[in-house]
Structure 1
Amino acid sequence: MSMSQREKMIAGMPYEPWDDELKAARAKAKLACYHFNHARPDDDSRLTHLAALFQTEQGFYVEPNFYCDYGFNIHLKGFFYANHHLTILDCAPVTIGDEVLIGPHVLISTATHPLSVQDRQAYEYAAPITIEDHVWIGGQVTILPGVTIGRGSVIGAGSVVTRDIPAGVVAVGNPCRVLREINDDDVAEKQKQLTFI
């Protein structure tokens, strides 16, 4: 039995994005995003539009505006907060761990295309992205296909993440590179700041 275009897409194989099933799924996601983005700020039910798309295990909070391709490939493993203007192109699975914080204007893109013009007109493909627990992603960050960001790491604002980032580090730049490990001095600095609150 042959695979559907949806199955090929999720498996990271070349697929045809204009397949009827995929077009319908994108239309459903766009409508949910529209209703979420246009809801009143005091409408406590607005997150239900996104919850109907995502695979969630706990609560989450997303500021408008938010955009995604499908939603069904977004797997939230715990509490998750995203500031304004998050875009997730979830042609492949995007797995987001517990206590992940995302700054404004972030792009998480699993989608990619062949370099050849002829192939690019015929199909696209995608690679999964994983953001592990307790990660903080600064504003204006772009995360590219196939990347894993390790537990507890911080991605500096404006970075373009093109390769895996290990756990417990501060990483910045374009392309994003490890600057240093997060250490005991960082914990001490946090405790010092809390004494002034």
Structure 2
Amino acid sequence: MIDMGDDERAVLERIGQGLLYTESEASFQAPLRRADLIFEYNRTRPGDAAGRRALLERILGSVGARTVLNSPFHAGFGSNVHIGDDFFGNVNLTFVDDVEIRIGNGVMIAPSVTLTTTGHPIHPDLREDFRRFSEPIVIEDKVWIGSNVVVLPGVRIGYGAVIGAGSVVSRDIPPMTVAVGVPCRVVRPISADDLKNRLAPS
């Protein structure tokens, strides 16, 4: 836990409202960063399952059972990431977790995906001292995110949704839909017909 005064609490309240804050104002959160542990995790042997699991439990805010997170992965903090059971994250997964990223059960994420809770103002005069805003990301159960997807601040991806490769997700995606594109848009619902997809002939 961080020992906070009134000024720090005021900054956290502003962050929680999605308002702008600066790097200097947020510097009191530095002890929550897990950069050294992430560095260590990314250099563990793939076969050292117990060692990798122990490190993940120290890095992440919470982590479920049967989690696979391939190296390397990157995170601003690590401690603001919460992952459910039966998670698979492929290589080069990046969490920009200035605020919480919550990932449900049975989620699969392909290579080179970025989940970013943080953005910056459009006007350059507002970007002094790395001024930014942050909004949490929620990925519900059984979502599949394709390669090279970027999920932007404040987005919720609904249960069972599929996000096509290369998409930029800037708005919420409803459950049980396929969405793709820049910006990412729903192209169709997921239906019982998809149960037959790529099955061997009977």
Query: What is the alpha-carbon root mean square deviation over aligned residues?
Result: 2.0
Asked if 1:189 is matched to 2:197, the reply is yes
The share of aligned pairs that are identical, in percent, is: 36
Instruction: Find the aligned partners of 2:85 and 2:112 in 1 and give their Cα distance.
Output: 22
Pair 1:61 & 2:68 matched: yes
SS for the counterpart of 1:95 is: strand
For the structure 1 residues 162 and 74, does the alpha-carbon distance in structure 2 shift closer, same or farther, using more than 3 Å as the test? Answer: same
1:80 aligns with 2:54: no
User: How far apart are the structure 1 equivalents of 2:11 and 2:105?
Assistant: 31
- For 1:35, give the aligned amino acid: E
Contact 1:141/1:161 (CA < 8 Å) preserved in 2? yes
Q: Aligned partner of 1:180: which letter?
A: R
2:132 paired with 1:124: yes
2:46 corresponds to 1:38: no
Deviation at 1:164, TM superposition (A): 0.8
Shift of 1:39: 1.1
Is 1:146 the counterpart of 2:151? The answer is no
Cα offset, 1:57, TM superposition: 5.2
Residue 179, structure 1, aligned to residue 184, structure 2:
no
- Is there any run of 5+ residues in structure 2 with no aligned partner, and where? 1-5
Give the superposition deviation at 1:118: 2.3
Q: Equivalent residue for 2:167?
A: 159
Which residue in the other structure is 2:55 paired with?
Answer: 49
Q: Secondary structure at the match of 2:108?
A: strand
Whether contact under 8 Å (1:5, 1:22) holds in the other structure is no
SS in 1 for 2:197: helix
Alpha-carbon displacement from aligned partner over 1:74-113 (angstroms, at most 9, x marks no partner): 1223331100110000012111011000000000001111
**Stretch moving more, 170-179 or 115-124:** 115-124
Are 2:14 and 1:14 aligned?
Answer: no
**Alpha-carbon displacement from aligned partner over 1:155-185 (angstroms, at most 9, x marks no partner):** 0111111111100011111111111111111
d(CA) in 2 for partners of 1:8, 1:42: 43
Counterpart of 2:118?
A: 111
Residue 133, structure 1, aligned to residue 141, structure 2: yes
SS in structure 1 at match of 2:59 = coil
Deviation at 1:49, TM superposition (A): 1.8
- CA shift, 1:22, in A, is 2.7
Alignment partner for residue 98 of structure 2, among 73, 76, 91?
A: 91
Normalising by the residue count of structure 2, what TM-score does the alignment of the two structures yield?
0.86
Q: 1:133 to 1:5 in 2, by over 3 A?
A: same
C-alpha contact 2:38 2:59 (8 A) present in aligned 1: no
Supply the AA of the counterpart residue of 1:104: P
Correspondence 1:170 to 2:178: yes
Are the counterparts in 1 of residues 56 and 63 from structure 2 also a CA contact under 8 Å? no
Change (3 A) 1:8 1:39: farther
